[in-house]
A = this chain, B = another copy of it.
Amino acid sequence: MQQRTTDQQATDVAHLRRALELAAQGPVADPNPRVGSIVTDAAGEVVGEGWHRGAGTAHAEVDALRQAGDRARGGTAYVTLEPCNHTGRTQPCSDALYAAGLARVVHAQSDPNPRAAGGAEVLRGKGVEVTGGLLADEAQALNRSWTHLVTTGRPWVTWKLAATLDGRSAAADGTSQWITGEAARADVHRLRAECGAILVGTGTALVDDPQLTARRPDGTLYPRQPIRVVMGERDLPATAKVLDDAAPTWHLRTRDPKAVLQALADAEVHRLWLEGGPTVAAAFLSAGLVDEVVAYVAPVLLGRGRQAVTDLGITTIDAALRLRPTDITLIGDDVRITADLHEGHEALEALEALEAAGAPMRTPTTDPTNTPEEH
């Protein structure tokens, strides 16, 4: 029996890994999570593959079941996220899986969304064998910001910072075009396109007059544009580039980062790209509302000029905000340093602890739902 369990688990992992590859093809900035699915027939043959292509389209399981048709009966569905039990833009996936006559469902990440969770429980109640938690970390990493939104109620906030080696984001006369090179600027646009919204303060909108769109190096727009958010109480002139029709724009007349994040959460935006200036950056940082920093450090020295960030209320070294680097990449002549803030890190750890304590399990071989003979 141990041997059968080990073999089955290896098969489960292989199918889930393929499902993760499929999931990664989904749109990263979509309000919905990226999900992939594989369906096998009763003999274990793959008869369907699917993934979610964004809000309003079929969920991954349904996409895979369409391919599988009747061959799904008695088979297994592999899904990177616990099947939803929620009637939203589509019918609950738990219903669709049950209706297809599947004997078993294997999922990775359990659904952290309280509105949608419970799919596994419903299926078990109807006699379907459910195994959860395999490759859960990888599945969660694929939907880090979406998971963050549904668990904390606010978007994952990435602060983008471009500065010289000596920490300047503009020269003494205010000029800042360009501190970083072309390749780094193209990288910023690529990452903007992965976010649901981009935010600046009215100060930046008035002084720099940026368009705030996500553009390819040839100047054309990426197909999906983030919402442009300008935060602050000052008026914007009708001629401001940020008000053109290249993308939707919100002017939020508030100085409260929490209010901004609430408005974005209400619109199901799970990743915000924060582009400063220094006052807006300091407001988010001081409030503990930055999850990640993407810093482009240019091999340039200026001596003086505008700081990348203003006072954070930190006066001594022991109170410094310490980050955890997750990636270092040379982009052209600039260095991109990606780092999590400890807040973000702790939130993820809390989430992991929550998941470990809840119904879905990290070690399926010792889980009762996975070894029914022990019941």
Contacts and interface: CB of A to CB of B under 8 A. Distances in A.
11 contacts: A165-B339, A167-B168, A173-B315, A175-B318, A178-B317, A282-B303, A299-B324, A301-B309, A301-B321, A304-B312, A328-B335
A299 B167 contact: no
A305 to B, nearest CB: 8
Interface string A302-345: 11110111111111111111111100101001010101000000
B309 A314 contact: no
Interface of A: 161, 163-168, 170-173, 175-179, 282, 285, 293, 295, 297, 299-305, 307-325, 328, 330, 333, 335, 337, 339
A282 B307 CA distance: 18
Q: How many copies does the complex hold?
A: 2
Q: Which of A172, A310, A320 has the most CB of B within 10 A?
A: A320
A248 B164 CA distance: 35
A293 B299 CA distance: 9
Given A178-B317, A282-B303, A302-B320, 14 more contacts: A163-B166, A165-B295, A166-B167, A171-B320, A177-B317, A297-B297, A297-B337, A300-B321, A303-B312, A303-B314, A305-B314, A325-B330, A335-B335, A335-B337
Contacts of A303: 282, 285, 309-314
Q: Which of A171, A282, A302, A319 has the most CB of B within 10 A?
A: A302
Nearest to A312: B303
Nearest to A282: B303
